[in-house]
Structure 1
Amino acid sequence: MAANALATGISEENSSDRLQQIAAQKRLRVCIWPDYFSISYKNRKTGELEGIDIDLAREFASDLGVEVSFVNTHFGIFMNDLESDKCDIAMFGVGRTQARMQRIDFSQPYLSSGMYGITHKTHPIIDSWETMDQPGVIVSVQKGTYMENAMKNSLKQAHIATVIKPGQREIEVRSGRADVFITDYPYGQKMIKNYDWAKLLTPVKATDQFQYAYAVKKDQPQWLKRVDQFVADIKKDGRLKQYASKNNLLPIALHD
């Protein structure tokens, strides 16, 4: 029975004993979205994972004395993956929203970002964030992100187009099917660095700041406490600042 439980993953009955299960399996299973620039990105040239949460996941596993394995997910399904025990923790810049808090638990935050737009440099109408909300403009957002609800609540005239597949937002803009897509600081910085057609739209008045944290399945108080301890540790000992600097995210890091 015990061997079978280890082979098939952590059962719901054992979910409150997460720390012991991780120690027994000698492995921390981390859900990531492998298309999140500077956060948890699979470099297409090298095939290697890179980003602040790749670095910090490895640090967390080291602190726990176990190996780390990464489980691919995305914002549309990661809560299902946590609830079905496909991973022990989600570490890929997950925004702490009220809707998500109904289903999953969050650690203390470690990053905080506003919203930005990406459009084409040669777009005939949109040259700023403030010119985005007008009739006929199509704004692309990714399903399951906090930007999706934020744009639905704030845009009055532009049309919102929701996409599911990773990378589809920029394809929509580059192809002309959408005029702009909404993203955050990490993804926006990487877009203008890697694509010469991309123009970053920075709001004159900063948008709401969304805090990013690590996410775990609900009702695991001891596991959540250990995750919070890790967040406190990396703020205090300088690891958060170190890896934020390495990944060009220092402006949004909540380090001490």
Structure 2
Amino acid sequence: MVRTLWTAASGMIAQQTAVDTIANNLANVNTTGYKNETAEFKSLLYQTLQTKTTSKNGENKPIGAQVGLGVRNSSITSHYTQGTLTETGIYTNFAVSGNGFFAVKAEDGKTYYTRNGVFQFTAGTNGLVLATSEGYPVLDTSGNQITIPTTYNSSNVTVNSSGQLYYTNADGTTTALGKTIGMYQFNNPAGLLKQSDSLYAVSDASGAAINESTNTAVTKSKIYQGYLEASNVQVADEMVNLIVAQRAYEMNSKAVQAADDMMQQANNLR
């Protein structure tokens, strides 16, 4: 009976993790560039109650008897499918179409990656710096900050689908600024380590960042100025998953109750 209690309890803990994951997806339904997650499970150890044996007549029993000890969470997997591109009309908003990530330099000096293209121009030591809403500089294809002169009107900066920056002069002519927003891909983006502020860190599982500007083997991503990529969370799917997780939690709790009732009956035997 004790085995039943612990097995059902492991199921309740696992389903609680599933509900936590679904709740996080729903909480981030309006987060720019967010990628939905799913909880994955695997079975625990099995106990062998009876091995393969023979009957009294010498006939082989083809199978033994094993009982499982429950379930546990194996991973929480992110799904990097393309989100819907939403027009904002703001010249410092950028959406990515493809597998690429923006690269930013955080306060700790490390490079992180994001699909959140809510940027702004901020005052830097050498000019106006393209940065995230938290102030982290956005990096170009060479891993350097993207800076324009302070004499420039940042609203006249345009970016084409390849990430190249141009400036529109007063006479209507355009000047190439010689800077390109960096786009980076990963062999296994699901292996990226999730940070706060919609940032991802490189891990051994994700592999090193692949610079799209120097690697000809990858499909180039496109950048759209004045757009943002919405999260790929489907509310209807998440609500269905939530109901399934709740029902699974309820069934495991009933298994606990059933084990308790059986133990009570055993204790009441005279």
TM-score in terms of structure 2 length:
0.20
- Structure ID, larger Rg: 2
* Structure that is richer in helix per residue: 1
* Structure that is richer in strand per residue: 2
TM-score in terms of structure 1 length:
0.21
